[in-house]
Amino acid sequence: MWNVSGVRPLAPLGAALLAACAGNGAGLDANGQPIGAGGAPPPPLTADFKSIQDDILTPICTHCHSGAAAPEGLELDAAHSYALLVGVPSNEDPGRLRVKPGSPDASYLVLKLEGSPGIVGAQMPFGAPALPQATIDVVRQWITNGAPPAATGSTAAVGSAAVASPDSTSFAVTAISPRDHSRLSGPPPRQIVVAFSHEVDASLLNETTLRLEIVAADGAPPVALSARLAEGNPSVVLLTPQRALGPGGYRLILRGSGGGGLADVNAQSLDVDYRSEFTVQGAP
């Protein structure tokens, strides 16, 4: 769900989510031990993204944060988490980045895990015991270190886990949020996140290479977008519509083929045009 502001039906929503999540191990660490029971992090946890993914995000967060209906559009499975966390604004508090490389205190992810007074909504993991501070401190350390991607590349190469070396592959789109064909209930998305297999040439981000069309209104001007690279995460492009997206269908077009399209920093062009559609259903 995408929330912009205002009233959020927290209690009923939480109850429904908890019911949906019951009995599948939420709140357990990688060894099946309850998180929060002891003061120490689970033994394998280290301050690199692969460990954070395997020991925290996958076992504890993906019960809720996966798929097209992930809360706040935040998918935390290994194929999406890095692209949607690092340098990407929070949907609840767009003035803050989910992860601000080098600055754990300014990272909304940390604030949500610690239940800081400034957060919107609940402490994470939702409805479960808070993570031990020692576990959160490992996340903090990873952010202090600059929030680098997983060393092996498999976690960072979103959607293309079979790829051995990212640089040997073609320049391609690896993830888009909101997902293709998703139907978004509640308030419209504030941002569209597009992840690529390589670092993007920011000088090619413009109204020709990136367009957001209104599906039902052929011939209408596209929705104006501002585009920039995510801070510290230059293979991710953040697109911000310059006006709130009303209910209806939207089609994102990323220009690749035919010259004048998007390219990576080594001037390798996007192989094809990408199209992705989503529907804003509006508040129920």
Q: Which residues of this chain interact with ligand HEC, rule CB under 6 A? A: 13, 17-18, 21, 26, 56, 60-61, 63-65, 71-72, 74, 90-92, 98, 108-109, 112, 121-122, 124-127
Residues in CB range of 48: below 8 A, 6 or more apart: 142, 148, 150, 151
Nearest-angstrom CA–CA distance, 101 and 99: 6
Nearer to ligand HEC, 124 or 205 (CB): 124
Q: How far is the CB of 155 from ligand HEC (least distance, A)?
A: 15
CB atoms within 10 A of CB 203: 8
Q: How far is the CB of 57 from ligand HEC (least distance, A)?
A: 6
Q: Nearer Cβ to ligand HEC, position 13 or 272?
A: 13
Amino acid at 64: C
Question: How far is C-alpha 121 from the chain's CA centre?
Answer: 18
| Minimum CB distance to ligand HEC smaller for 59 or for 256 | 59
We find the least distance from the C-beta atom of residue 70 to ligand HEC, in angstroms, to be 8
Is residue 265 within 8 Å of 229, Cβ to Cβ?
A: no
If the CB atoms of residues 186 and 222 are measured against ligand HEC, the closer one turns out to be: 186
C-alpha 222/C-alpha 44 separation (Å) is 49
Find the shortest distance in angstroms from Cβ 196 to ligand HEC: 21
Closest approach, Cβ 89 to ligand HEC, in A, equals: 7
Q: How far is CA 25 from CA 22, 126, 127, 277, in A?
A: 8, 13, 13, 33
Q: Which residue is nearest to ligand HEC (CB)?
A: 121
